[in-house]
Structure 1
């Protein structure tokens, strides 16, 4: 719903209130009907709590399950490798790395356009369709007989998975206030860490099916997980909902409440917009798109290096002597590596949600990014410098805890500071697509001839964390802080002088009254 601005009176009001966020939100919400008019603040708060709980129950658990399945399906090739995939298909080390790389090519190239498709086709249609497609691809990975077949299926897997992560991040940002979005995004993304943990346990169990129906254990990992993905995709037609203005589980009154609470938070994400190239160019010309891409590549490049190779890394640590409870597994190094990969992922999942909660409460997403990046840097420094297996295993813990929270927090930071339905979708597509493109680097830095210490791989990941995640977060934090100061002093008020209503709406987060989340 459009809000009419008179530029002179708007600037005057904003100056009088020193750009009070509550007043700014009230001005935006003026065009939305208030279904709770006349109720006390306490009654409104109680209604809001119940509404938020309804949204959480309907949206977050199922979407988190979808991402758990997605991340499990894209990274289980690392689990399959250590139970014989590479040997059975007669692949060289270079060919195995190429099968990792090809996924990221199609995955990254198609991500920037997927949010436009999500908006046009509706989430309840788009997400189930792509899940069914990658479930088929996943199953086919268990049926291949050579390197060429695996390459082809991995390319189509990347294509079909491309729409989920940027799509869900964009989708959730259209439902929650900026101070609520981070912890929900963290819970959603913690499924990736749980996938690493769950994937190790699952792979250890499925690998015991070696020889069943003439198939190797690694083939059953792909076949069974692919079939489960396909079935979950079918169920998603009933379990994935649309945007607030179309969601079937909301009553008309609750729909009005959702739209109004977003407007009070200076968000127009619930509004119906038709796609215009203006939104695309607004994203391309926004410096935050590029700083966000740099930060995200620092976290995402490290993430894929970690998730694809952590079973292999742990397999080389020689930890059997440190854990007497696993003495019965002597001689089964692949299963031992799967099981020992579980605790670091579990710790990462817990910290991801914790950071999401802290960042929402403090609205200091930049400082949270900077803080967790130190954990990652310390962790990979330990992997590089420690000689003992125990010290390096501790480094795996810190590495996971420094990478996973930064992914969800960076997406939340970007969403908080990008206003407008399509601009946000395009920006997230670019940022996430660029980050995932770095999976091409990640999939080629851990080479067999570098084991057992993997110095080049650990060094590259450490460089990503220092230069891009830490350095990019520091730069964006101070640029946003400087910009907020200028807006609060009224130095950007001239941006809306002489503009008509449609031009002001196109400004989105460049409106002088929009204050960035630091």
Structure 2
């Protein structure tokens, strides 16, 4: 299929009139140069009243476009998230390198420093994602990366626990928009089935940050000094400077949306918009203006709420690994040097990274996500049973591999799931923000799951994580059964009767309450 001579794309919120010969048709069988543009920004709807796409297009052209988007978009956001997670989790590496002793930490001070980060992180999650939509991801993501890089650099100069808490509060504020912002950004470019795997390509940086962060911290600690800084202070300084550089680079490489991408031809821009819009029932534009009704639809969607609860439970494990894996390894291999202990944290994260890519890849091919929530739980349960049931070093270290291989996969899968089960861009921004906000409440809980007096076996922390994994299994199974049952009920509804008399705006504001909408498990 060849498409050429397309007019200039409309800006966000604008629409084009539907071709006169298509206004009363249920479908457009072939996209050509004259109607592709209208399929991209249709003045009426992207689908018929039953949710079927009005357009079909060449799968070869779509694959070529998708690869191009992959190469231009994913590497930059992946690097930003890598150092976002490193700048957050390097506190654990710094702790076993002397941070706690130099700052005079006592009792629950370390747990309190972690908690302060999550307080700001949680409070600003949804506002930051709405700000990302308002500013445009091409500006918001580089700016927030620059700011948390500066904040991480500032951590190298703290001398007291209150100073560390203040810097970590700012770090939480500036990092709050990164994970949901990238997920929302990618939802502008990819179709429902494709999104989980693309999310995994940047969220895989979380386990890689655990392994790479350990290696980087080990290498940094081999230095005599960095400027006038020594030991753990060098970790924050060097990693903060790298993040600042990546933020500046991202200002040059990221673009808000397909319509403004200089690296796409006009034909590719139209196809990029059309294919995303073809899945959004009853919508007239891909990027709508922020609207209260659709905002609430995104937050209070039952799949958003249930998935966010699952992500909360899962994040108790994920963030617990990030902050306490070095401490757990130290309790197992206390006779090793600090550098050797850092290196022991690497292999479990490498295994976790592999499965973080594998399961979303399978999810993409199946266009299913909920079933993988269910499948992830048993491995975590077995891992924590091993922690609780054995004091053997090899058994407990092996348990970290099982936990990492399943825990990290829910990051991309949950964000893809809430994105797939709303319609409008505003609802999607709110749903992803809600999911990540709830997930980071789990991070806040994780900061108090491994307590100093519970060392070295950490029965409370390991027991809590066993309970959360079990709950993930139960909740995910019940939600899947409910989705299938409710979708069956929806198929029996009279679409014409329910939409009769509604204006186009009222139909759009229905979002997932549209009578033809079906849940996407």
User: Structure 2 length as normaliser, TM-score?
Assistant: 0.88
Are 1:108 and 1:434, in contact at CA under 8 Å, matched by a contact in 2? yes
The Cα offsets for residues 140-186 of structure 1, whole Å up to 9 and x where unpaired, read as: 10011111111110000000111110011111112111111111111
Equivalence for 2:113: 99
CA distance in 1, matches of 2:66, 2:311: 29
SS at match of 1:182: helix
- Deviation of 1:494 (Å): 4.6
CA distance in 2, matches of 1:225, 1:443: 22
- Equivalent pairs counted in the alignment come to 486
Aligned equivalent of 2:38, options 33, 39, 47: 33
Deviation string for 1:450-502 (max 9, x for gaps)? 111111111112222211x2222122212211122122233666542331211
- Could you tell me which of 286, 291, 302 is aligned with 2:301? 286
The whole-number CA distance in structure 1 between the counterparts of 2:92 and 2:496 is 53
Q: Is the 8 A contact 2:308 2:438 kept in 1?
A: yes
SS of corresponding position for 1:515: coil
Q: Residue 216 in 1 paired to residue 220 in 2? A: no
Q: Which residue of 2 aligns with 1:229?
A: 243
CA distance in 1 between partners of 2:450 and 2:300 (Å): 36
Q: State whether residues 319 and 443 of structure 2, in contact with CA within 8 Å, keep that contact through their aligned partners in structure 1.
A: yes
Distance 1:213 1:54, change over 3 A: closer
Task: Determine the C-alpha separation between the residues in 1 that align with 2:396 and 2:284.
Answer: 45
Structure 1 residues 331 and 378: CA distance shift in structure 2, 3 A: closer
Preserved CA contact (<8 Å) 2:298 2:426: no
Question: In the TM superposition, what is the alpha-carbon distance from 1:251 to its structure 2 partner?
Answer: 1.9
Residue 192 to residue 23, structure 1, CA distance change in 2 (3 Å) = farther
Report how far residue 271 of structure 1 moved: 1.8
Once the two structures are superposed, residues 61-112 of structure 1 have per-residue CA deviations (whole angstroms, 9 ceiling, x without a partner) of: 1111111110011000000000100001111131111111100000110011
Q: Which residue of 2 aligns with 1:262?
A: 276
Q: Distance in 2 between matches of 1:276 and 1:34?
A: 23
Residue 503 (structure 2) pairs with residue 497 (structure 1)? no
Report the equivalent of 2:43.
none
Matching of residue 137 in structure 1 with residue 141 in structure 2:
no
The counterpart of 1:154, out of the listed 151, 155, 168, is: 168
Aligned match of 1:508 in 506, 511, 516? 511
2:432 maps to 428
CA RMSD in angstroms, aligned pairs only: 2.7
**1:173, 1:415 within 8 Å by CA — same for their partners in 2?**
yes
Distance 1:136 1:400, change over 3 A: same
Structure 1: which 5+ residue stretches go unaligned? 14-21, 36-40, 320-329
Note the C-alpha offset of 1:286.
Answer: 2.3
Match of 1:59 in 2: 73
Counterparts of 1:172 and 1:198, CA distance in 2: 24
CA drift at 1:120:
1.4
Q: Which residue of 1 aligns with 2:482?
A: 479
Match of 2:95 among 76, 81, 103: 81
Native 8 Å contact 1:103 1:155 kept in 2: yes
Name structure 2 gaps, 5 residues minimum: 1-14, 41-54
Please report the TM-score for the alignment, with normalisation by the length of structure 1.
0.88
2:215/2:346 contact within 8 Å kept? yes
Following superposition, which runs of at least 4 residues in structure 1 exceed 6 angstroms of deviation? 22-26
Deviations 1:31-64 (A, max 9, x none): 95359xxxxx999222112111110001111111
Out of 123, 132, 135, the position equivalent to 1:121 is 135
